[in-house]
Structure 1
Amino acid sequence: MSASRDVKELEAQALSLPLDARASLAHRLLQSLEEVSEAEYEWLWGEESLCRAAEADSGRTRTASGAEVARKAISLLR
């Protein structure tokens, strides 16, 4: 079984838990990220950026220009 398949399976199991169990699990997972070394942190963000780039390239994600984001932010602040 591949790592991504394992993660998807774990995610499905975690999402089926009751709210309090999901909250507890989320808290423990977030705490574990504080123990990540700088090298691991950089690797994780590198992996995340590759995933986001692949989603954008495939069209699964809508992209927006910086100007569009700025316009929307300004309109939300008004």
Structure 2
Amino acid sequence: MPNELANIKYDALALPERDRAKLAKDLLDSLDGDEKLDVSKAWDIEICRRINEIESGEAQLLNAGDVMTDVKKGLNI
């Protein structure tokens, strides 16, 4: 088994960075069980919903500087 693990590690390190990142994420997700998967799926759905709102023009995008100015005004800072 140790030799097999070393071979897998060697092969994985030869992958492009994007593939290594995907592999690392998948391996970590496999350790966290179903709860992590449910949260990940929920976030995937939410991200898609937000992207769709932006692309359709439904979402109102705000300038971060303007938002911070409004917050500071509201807090009397």
The TM-score with structure 2 as length reference comes to 0.48
Question: Which has the greater radius of gyration?
Answer: 2
The TM-score with structure 1 as length reference comes to 0.47
